Amino acid sequence: MSGSSDEGEGEGKAEIKVPMPPLGDAEIDTSPGVHLVWKDLCFGYLQPQSRFNCCKEEDDSVPKYKPILKELTGEIKPGEMIAVLGPSGAGKTSFLNVIARRVKNSKTKHITGSITINGQVASHKFFKKISGFVAQDDILMGSMTVWEALIFTATLTDAGKETKQQIEDRVRGLLESMGLMHVRDNFIGFVGKGSNMSGIARGLSGGERKRVSVCVELIHNPLLLFLDEPTSGLDSYAAKTVLNCLRGLSNQGRTVLCTIHQPSAEILKMFDKLLLLGSGSTVYFGPTNEAPQYFASIGHPLPKFCNPGDHYMTIIQTGGKEKIVSEEDIQEDSIVSLKDNITDHTALADAFLDSKYGKMCEAIEVRTMEEKKHLEKDCFGREVIVEEDDLEGERAPFLMQLKLLTKRAWDNVIREPLLFKTRIFQTIFISVLTGLIFLRIPYNLTGASDRISGGFFVALSPLFSSINGPTATFPPERYLLIC
């Protein structure tokens, strides 16, 4: 993978050449691909004070919602890789969660607009079946090796359709394509506080962990891939390596959409299109290589030797009203005042709507499929059409799930020396303490009562011990279960 990371520096995916072997024997379905369209997409949270009747609108009983996303429209075609860029609080993660169908309408969340796949309003189950989501924080079991983590995920989602050898071949091909074969037997490891409490001394690097997270989502061969800031916390080389892998997946026909934070000019060129958000509104959506010309046309040319991503962030954060500091200003010790910075993105959003790129977004049409088989409720509360086969989830049988989870729990225990020794000491201590409490009980009526109490205690002790285990295990593994 290190050899491929230095290639593909030009613009456009035709100039980026990343060797990506096929994913084992699994044939990649790129014939139709995924054409994702979102139209007039709005999202808002219920304001806390509006939960009380006195804080609702005077003329209407409808609660007030704080707008997060404001009438976003766009599309992603098969084989495209799109970056969502914007300052903190612009709505990048919210947009990714809504577009990936991870957020639904509720009492505290309000979503309007439409999301279609190949002209169809798909159900949540079908959407989950064809897509993968890589969170910003790597959700991995640190006590497992890379090989074990992928085999576990592949077996758990296989539903008994493949043999063990076929699953191993598929995982091996995936590791080769992502450049992870040299760490296949390495422990993933823990990060943060978990690394200090773990007996596993060394895990994977940040870039390797991110690629493993991508591999976990690629196990079921999704055609649509979402990533939340895949380069956060990585150095420039590791970030470029991860983006090279994503570029190769896109070249294979997958649709890739990811939020990104502070990209370098080299990384930004790897994306086909760029979506810039400011306060939940679209500031720009179009080809990445045409963004500098667009901003120059509205009075914000790209300065020399300036990172395009930083230039766009400056324009969005200041509402286009701050003077760009040039190299001459810095040499003259010029001080830039931020007092007059106004983060009003209405002008930038209106300028985009009046441009040719805004007209292209308005021209996007949402088509619905004519044939009806089943109706469900989507995240907008509307009836949507799904195929009958889409209602059946792919999962392993119950006994297979029980076997896999039991083995993973046992491996996690024995691979954590401190935890394993603590549980052994706890068992021995409780046993000795119980024996000392009920030692030398007399053989009379009082002793018989004590023996009944002792038996009751011995019978309940394993029950409470089994309850304490999941209580301590669930918090660190919570995200593995819900994501």
Min mean pLDDT across 6-10, 123-127, 355-359, 472-476 is at 6-10
286 band by pLDDT with thresholds 50, 70 and 90: very high
C-alpha 416/C-alpha 67 separation (Å) is 46
Query: Higher model confidence: residue 385 or residue 255?
Result: 255
Mean pLDDT is lowest, of 159-173, 200-214, 339-353, for 339-353
Q: Which CATH superfamily is domain 4-33+75-105+115-373+387-391 in?
A: P-loop containing nucleotide triphosphate hydrolases (3.40.50.300)
Domain regions of the chain by residue span: 4-33+75-105+115-373+387-391, 416-482
CA-based torsion, 297, 299, 304, 305: positive or negative? negative
pLDDT given at position 429: 87
Rounded CA separation 296/293 (Å): 5
Highest mean pLDDT: which of 296-305, 320-329, 465-474? 296-305
Task: For 248-261, write each residue's pLDDT tens digit.
Answer: 889 888 899 999 98
Question: Which amino acid is present at 51?
Answer: R
- The continuous run of DSSP H or E covering 375 comes out as strand 374-377
**pLDDT range class, residue 18, cuts 50, 70, 90:** very low
The structure tokens 């758990």 sit at: 156
Mean pLDDT of 235-240: 86
Report the range out of 92-106, 418-432, 442-456 with the highest average pLDDT: 92-106
Average pLDDT over residues 190-201: 59
Range of lowest pLDDT (23-27, 154-158, 179-183, 444-448): 23-27
pLDDT computed for residue 136 by the predictor: 83
Give the span between the Cα atoms of 260 and 16, in whole angstroms.
Answer: 19
Beta strands in 122-181 (DSSP E): 131-134
* Token reading at 190: 């823990």
Over residues 131-142, the pLDDT tens digits come to 999 988 877 888
Higher pLDDT, 409 or 150: 150
384 pairs with which residues across the strands? 376
**What is residue 183's DSSP assignment?**
G
Beta strands 65-76; 255-259: pairing state: unpaired
**Does residue 1 register a pLDDT over 60?**
no
Q: Are 480 and 139 in contact (CB under 8 A)?
A: yes
* Share of residues in the chain with pLDDT > 90 (%): 26
pLDDT, position 471: 65
Interval 299-321 mean pLDDT? 86
Counted residue by residue, the chain has a size of 483
Question: Rounded to an integer, what is the distance from CA 216 to the centroid of its chain?
Answer: 11
pLDDT exceeds cutoff 60 at 147 = yes
Q: Provide the CB-side half-sphere exposure for 318 (13 A, CA).
A: 19
Helix (H, G, I), strand (E, B) or coil at 250: helix
Q: Which of 188, 183, 252, 184 is nearest to 218 (CA)?
A: 252
263: which 2 tokens? 């990209």
Q: Let me know: does 179 contact 416? Beta carbons within 8 Å.
A: no
Instruction: Evaluate whether 400 touches 413 at the Cβ level (below 8 Å).
Output: no
Contacts of 282 (CB under 8 A, 6+ apart): 72, 73, 74, 275, 276, 349, 352, 358, 361
Q: pLDDT over 70 for what percent of the chain?
A: 71
Query: Which band of pLDDT confidence, cut at 50, 70 and 90, is reported for residue 372?
Result: very low
CA distance 8 to 5: 8
Contacts of 466 (CB under 8 A, 6+ apart): none
Work out the burial of residue 69: count CB atoms within 10 Å of its CB; fewer than 13 is exposed, 13-18 middle, 19 or more buried. Answer: buried
Q: What is the mean pLDDT of the chain?
A: 76
**pTM of the predicted model as reported, rounded to 2 decimal places:** 0.74
Q: What CA–CA distance (Å, rounded) separates 210 from 213? A: 5
Model confidence at 12: pLDDT above 60: no
225: region left, alpha or beta (phi > 0 left; psi from -120 to 50 alpha):
beta
User: How confident is the model over 89-116, as pLDDT tens digits?
Assistant: 889 999 999 999 888 888 888 899 989 8
